[in-house]
Structure 1
Amino acid sequence: MVTEYLLDLIKASREHPEVELGVSPRGMLALMRAAQAKAYIQGRDYITPEDIKTLAPLVFTHRIILTMEGSIKKTSKEVVTEIISSVQVPVEEGAVK
């Protein structure tokens, strides 16, 4: 569930019309590690979709490259917000360690 949500976000970053280059596999791993660190700091041994959603803007903003037209119209932060809002957050049933 969490991994599917993460993969959906990565896919959405690559398919957004104003993004030239979406989040790479290394960017995906960086987001996963950041979510694990957040969960650990909060005393959990699992990550939630909310952890991913909270940290995605911080990780994605500098990992995407906008098209020429996209960079004229919007900032990376605005595009990342669109990407995150376009992917439905799954309902928590279980957790991933």
Structure 2
Amino acid sequence: MKAMTFLVKPQSSIEALPEAKDLVQDLLELFYEYFPEYEGCLGFSQSPRRPRYLFLYMEGPCGGLLPSAALFLKDLLETAFPGAEVRVYGKPWP
């Protein structure tokens, strides 16, 4: 499966994720150091209201993250947002 979208959400509907823009930009810089071939392929957005879900997604002509890159990014997100649930959505290989 090629990873296309990552969803980060709090474990509880009572909790909310913090404002994540600066943190995600730092995470993406680190990710691109290890996987420079994906530079410019990932965008992100965060819902403005509680619980402030965070979405990272493929944009442009990129066809998805290969498994090793997807696992690395998932691990980064789980470390950056302890206690949050990180889900990965993808598409099958062509």
Q: How does the TM-score come out when normalised to structure 1? A: 0.41
Identify the structure with the greater helix proportion. 1
